[in-house]
Amino acid sequence: MGQSLHQACAHLIFSISQRGNLAKQKEDQETVTFQDESRKFLMEHEVEFDERSVWD
């Protein structure tokens, strides 16, 4: 069973903050938007979400 949206978002924010340092070290790495990173995370953790309400 997937996580709740609240749990997934909390974990996502923590994960992104931890990756921030690594992203800064890789100047040549392609920039990934918050929406793209969030979408990928939610899908990987099987969290159901409606993009129309998440990004507004």
Predicted confidence (pLDDT) per residue in 7-37, tens digit = 887 788 777 776 666 656 565 456 778 888 8
Instruction: Assign 1 a pLDDT band (cuts: 50, 70, 90).
Output: very low
Q: Exposed, middle or buried: residue 2 (CB in 10 Å: 0-12, 13-18, 19+)?
A: exposed
Identify the pLDDT of residue 42.
87
Identify the pLDDT of residue 3.
67
Q: How far apart are CA 4 and CA 47, in angstroms?
A: 7
Q: Where are the alpha helices (DSSP H) in the chain?
A: 5-25, 34-44, 51-54
pTM for the model stands at 0.48
Identify the pLDDT of residue 37.
84
